[in-house]
Structures are given as C-alpha cells and as structure tokens.
Amino acid sequence: MTRSPAASHVAMQVLRSGTAPLPNHGEAQAAESNRDFIHKLKLSLKELRETFRWIRLIQRVPLVKRPDLVTPLLRETDELIRIFVASIKTAQKRPD
C-alpha cells in the first residue's frame, strides 16, 4: 500500500471492518434467541460488506502497486457475504 494519508486511513478502515465479523460471529453463536442470532449475523454481514467496498476501493484507485493481487481478497469476502446472507435467510425461516 502507498504511504499517503488516504492510504493509511483506508488501511485502518479495512483493519477495523475486516476484523469485526469474527467477534460478531462469536456473539451470534452465543445468542440468547433466534432473533438475537439473526441480529448479530446481520452485524457481521454489515462489516463484511463495508470491508468489500474498502478492498474494492484499494484495487480501483489503486492504493497498491499490484491491484491484481487484491482480487482473491475480494472473492473471499464476497463468498463470506454470500454465506452470511444464506445463514440469515435460513435462520429467518425458523420459528422464534
């Protein structure tokens, strides 16, 4: 990543949003109800979507010397988003 104030800001945003889904998922595993479970999965999903956008910005600006190396990160983040969306849909079908 380049060493500009903008790149530093984006790096910190990715660090924050990219690490948030893990503890939120842990909270979902300890949910007190199905509604609480869904809420916490949605928090993880929100952070994953934010991370996806930041990574896409890094690639498109570009803020890295080899933007093509970011593609696998985008793919993996997209896969995680799809998994969380499917999990939320499944949980929403369950009775409370």
How does pLDDT run along the chain (96 residues), one tens digit per residue?
678 898 899 999 999 999 999 999 999 999 999 999 999 999 999 999 999 999 999 999 999 999 999 999 999 999 999 999 999 999 999 987
18/24 Cα distance (integer angstroms): 11
Q: What is the structure's pLDDT at 75?
A: 98
Q: What structural domains does the chain harbor?
A: 5-93 (1.20.1440.60)
Residue 4: the pLDDT is 86
The pTM of this model reads: 0.92
